[in-house]
A and B are shown apart, each in its own frame.
Chain A
């Protein structure tokens, strides 16, 4: 069985930052492997270690800069990686759900995996929609927000738990091939070992353009246009205690005594 994992490098923001146009100014941004995708990679690698999967492939839409992040996934045990990038993607400030779907669908169609694992959402722009959209397009089954997967995958069925609101889980059987969006907490993502990191340098990382995939350039423009970004107006009337830790702690101590909740 082949598993494909979609892996995104997300942007992180420093505490203090400035906005330039419709983006946060570059110098305040960092990068990280998307938290949800880290759990998806771990799930795939465990399926491989258990002998259920024989190949784990990652795919990322992103510029060359994100190869570090991709190598992390390889160091954790994925076998090879695909990175999609193109000049046409360079100036696009928002890749909407439709645009990502049109690119990733071609990779999945070519790889023909039995199982696709995505994260529940991107930590930075939180659409939460790529996995289900892909499944619908490719005629795969799907399940969103999966926090448990039975590893036998017997009879072409993935037995999963979907994490609903309020501490309730839904027990669901999903026919393969399927796309599952993976929730944090499903497993304990490993740290890459030194050996893993060394090996990752030699694993294949194949770069493809839109042309290679047969994706029309117009598809990546998407239907949704980002028109503004701003810091939300705070409606709060928060009282901020200033001073040394001892001073602020004693303010808080006083509040707790005033409320009659402190001993």
Chain B
């Protein structure tokens, strides 16, 4: 038992980036265990996916053709059966929304420990050491476990695997028990449309929970007006109904790459950063000098937004 099995992620006909990242993470681990890296791709146009996934470092790709889109029952059953067949040491699963919908079930069903949302992982073959964050990224921890395990990996932490591999591609005949599929996916819907497209803006004045109350939002709008910029926000502002969904930056909102992104009272949680880290210049206004947003900011003001924002607005009025 020294192989690594990594499960890939796709949606509506497209492999997601994390599928190429998990190859890199899986290869690293397999080098440490001295085993092979097996990939699995489940549901959809698996032959086409397998060809794309055949990048450097992959030893074998197993295709499971049952189903079109993600269904957690199919994924759980197929992954469990692949585990029984291949007996890998580690099962890697993306820490995506869908990953979180089946990885814990796989682990529990196989009686394996699970460690989620890891940003680093290494092993001496017996002890696995996983690095993960706590408190919204304020601290990191190392976590040890012995023997085989299920590990979910954070997206955009490992580079995507490149090149062309010479993996063996085999179809895996999973035995899917239809009676055990208690949920049915009926379709998808795109939300967050509307008149404003924040991904088009050159300058985003982005507001987070530091603003405290809905009544304070106008100071942000006044700044945006003065700068001829667009207002965007982190998730809690939208959850609270203070701004519409189409203003939300992040994993479940929009990905933006403006010339300048001004993060005001935003801590920089991973799901937020996923949506704005590609901005040209990032400015953070935050009272907390240790806020994770500081790690990706180019410029920072460690001060109260209620002082800095009006002062800045005044400059341009």
Contacts and interface: CB of A to CB of B under 8 A. Distances in A.
27 contacts: A11-B135, A15-B289, A15-B290, A22-B141, A97-B113, A128-B116, A132-B72, A133-B105, A144-B101, A145-B97, A167-B254, A168-B190, A169-B191, A171-B186, A172-B183, A173-B184, A184-B235, A226-B141, A226-B142, A227-B143, A231-B140, A238-B284, A238-B298, A240-B302, A249-B315, A255-B281, A261-B227
B104 A170 contact: no
Interface centre among B104, B136, B183, B229, by most chain A C-beta atoms within 10 angstroms, is: B104
A172 B308 contact: no
B105 A248 contact: no
A132 B98 contact: no
A169 B245 CA distance: 13
B108 interface: yes
Interface in B160-193: 182-192
Given A145-B101, A165-B251, A227 B142 contact: yes
A97 B104 contact: yes
Interface in B82-137: 95-98, 100-105, 107-109, 113-117, 129, 132-137
Nearest to B290: A15
Contacts of A227: 129, 141-144
A218 interface: no
Contact of A126 (B134, B300, B316): B134
B301 interface: yes
Given A229-B140, A249-B308, A129 B236 contact: no
B183 A141 contact: yes
A124 B132 CA distance: 12
B295 interface: yes
Given A232-B140, A259-B260, A96 B113 contact: yes
Contact of A174 (B183, B188, B189, B298): B183
A230 B143 contact: no
B100 A128 contact: yes
B238 interface: yes
Given A166-B252, A181-B100, 6 more contacts: A97-B104, A132-B104, A141-B183, A228-B142, A230-B140, A236-B294
A15 B139 contact: no
A130 B109 CA distance: 14
Looking at chain A's contact residues, the main secondary structure is mixed
Interface residues of B, number: 98
Nearest to B239: A185
A206 interface: no
B283 interface: yes
A184 B105 contact: no
Interface in A133-183: 133, 135-137, 141-145, 161-175, 178, 181
B146 interface: yes
A167 to B, nearest CB: 4
A126 B295 contact: no
Interface of A: 11-13, 15-17, 19, 22, 24, 94, 96-98, 101, 120, 123-133, 135-137, 141-145, 161-175, 178, 181, 184-185, 188, 222-232, 234-236, 238-241, 245-246, 248-253, 255-256, 259, 261-263
A238 B299 contact: yes
B211 interface: no
Contacts of A163: 97, 252
B203 interface: yes
Interface of B: 11, 16, 70, 72, 76, 95-98, 100-105, 107-109, 113-117, 129, 132-146, 149, 182-192, 202-203, 226-229, 235-236, 238-241, 245, 251-255, 259-260, 262, 281, 283-284, 287-291, 294-304, 307-308, 311-312, 314-316
A136 B180 CA distance: 11
Contact of A262 (B16, B107, B227, B307): B227
B294 A248 contact: no
Contact of A236 (B129, B183, B202, B295): B295
Given A129-B100, A236-B295, A168 B281 contact: no
Given A15-B287, A96-B113, A228 B141 contact: yes
B223 to A, nearest CB: 10
A250 B297 CA distance: 18
Contacts of B100: 120, 128-129, 132, 144-145, 181
Contacts of A120: 100
Contacts of B262: 252
Given A223-B146, A227-B142, A256-B203, A123 B136 contact: yes
Given A173-B186, A236-B295, A229 B139 contact: yes
